[in-house]
Amino acid sequence: MSGVTDNLIKLAKEIMPLPSEREMDVLLATGEQTTIALTAMALHALGLQAVSLTGAQAGILTTASTPRPRSRTSRPNASMSC
Protein backbone atom coordinates (compact mmCIF):
# COMPACT_ATOMS: atom_id res chain seq x y z
CA MET A 1 0.00 0.00 0.00
CA SER A 2 3.11 2.17 -0.04
CA GLY A 3 2.50 5.55 -1.63
CA VAL A 4 -1.30 5.37 -1.69
CA THR A 5 -1.78 8.03 0.99
CA ASP A 6 0.79 10.31 -0.65
CA ASN A 7 -1.01 9.93 -3.98
CA LEU A 8 -4.40 10.76 -2.42
CA ILE A 9 -2.92 13.90 -0.83
CA LYS A 10 -1.37 14.88 -4.17
CA LEU A 11 -4.68 14.43 -5.99
CA ALA A 12 -6.52 16.53 -3.41
CA LYS A 13 -3.98 19.35 -3.63
CA GLU A 14 -4.21 19.33 -7.43
CA ILE A 15 -7.88 20.17 -7.02
CA MET A 16 -7.46 22.63 -4.17
CA PRO A 17 -4.20 23.78 -2.53
CA LEU A 18 -5.72 23.81 0.98
CA PRO A 19 -8.55 21.26 1.11
CA SER A 20 -10.75 21.19 4.18
CA GLU A 21 -9.68 18.91 7.02
CA ARG A 22 -13.02 17.14 6.97
CA GLU A 23 -12.78 16.23 3.29
CA MET A 24 -9.15 15.14 3.71
CA ASP A 25 -10.24 12.87 6.58
CA VAL A 26 -12.91 11.29 4.37
CA LEU A 27 -10.48 10.91 1.47
CA LEU A 28 -7.72 9.34 3.53
CA ALA A 29 -10.16 7.00 5.26
CA THR A 30 -10.59 5.21 1.92
CA GLY A 31 -7.04 3.90 2.27
CA GLU A 32 -7.78 2.72 5.79
CA GLN A 33 -10.92 0.92 4.60
CA THR A 34 -8.89 -0.83 1.91
CA THR A 35 -6.37 -1.97 4.49
CA ILE A 36 -8.96 -3.31 6.94
CA ALA A 37 -10.74 -5.28 4.21
CA LEU A 38 -7.46 -6.78 2.94
CA THR A 39 -6.44 -7.67 6.51
CA ALA A 40 -9.74 -9.50 7.07
CA MET A 41 -9.23 -11.37 3.79
CA ALA A 42 -5.69 -12.35 4.78
CA LEU A 43 -6.98 -13.70 8.09
CA HIS A 44 -9.68 -15.66 6.24
CA ALA A 45 -6.97 -17.16 4.02
CA LEU A 46 -5.26 -18.39 7.19
CA GLY A 47 -8.47 -20.07 8.30
CA LEU A 48 -9.32 -17.44 10.92
CA GLN A 49 -12.61 -15.66 11.38
CA ALA A 50 -12.46 -11.91 10.88
CA VAL A 51 -14.69 -9.02 9.93
CA SER A 52 -13.52 -5.60 8.83
CA LEU A 53 -15.03 -2.65 10.70
CA THR A 54 -14.68 1.07 10.28
CA GLY A 55 -14.25 3.12 13.43
CA ALA A 56 -17.95 3.98 13.47
CA GLN A 57 -18.96 0.35 12.97
CA ALA A 58 -16.71 -0.60 15.90
CA GLY A 59 -18.43 2.00 18.09
CA ILE A 60 -15.69 4.64 18.05
CA LEU A 61 -17.18 8.12 18.14
CA THR A 62 -15.35 11.40 17.59
CA THR A 63 -16.28 15.00 18.20
CA ALA A 64 -15.60 18.00 16.00
CA SER A 65 -15.00 20.27 19.01
CA THR A 66 -11.46 19.06 19.65
CA PRO A 67 -8.44 19.94 17.50
CA ARG A 68 -7.68 16.22 17.14
CA PRO A 69 -10.78 14.08 17.66
CA ARG A 70 -10.64 11.92 20.76
CA SER A 71 -12.05 8.43 20.56
CA ARG A 72 -14.79 7.35 22.92
CA THR A 73 -15.60 3.71 22.66
CA SER A 74 -19.13 2.50 23.02
CA ARG A 75 -20.77 -0.87 22.69
CA PRO A 76 -20.44 -2.06 19.07
CA ASN A 77 -23.56 -2.96 17.13
CA ALA A 78 -24.86 -6.13 18.78
CA SER A 79 -25.83 -7.61 15.42
CA MET A 80 -22.19 -7.71 14.32
CA SER A 81 -20.07 -10.57 15.55
CA CYS A 82 -16.60 -11.89 14.85
Query: One-letter amino acid identity for 4?
Result: V
Query: Quick one: pLDDT at residue 55?
Result: 85
Query: Quick one: pLDDT at residue 71?
Result: 47
For residue range 31-48, what is the model confidence (pLDDT) as tens digits?
889 999 999 999 999 999
Query: One-letter amino acid identity for 15?
Result: I
- Name the strand (E) or helix (H) holding 23: helix 21-45
The residue ranges of the chain whose pLDDT is under 50 are 69, 71, 74-82
Helix and strand tally (H, E) in the chain? 2, 2
Query: Quick one: pLDDT at residue 61?
Result: 83
Evaluate if pTM is beyond 0.75. Answer: no
In the chain, % helix, strand, coil (3-state, to 5) comes to: 45, 5, 50
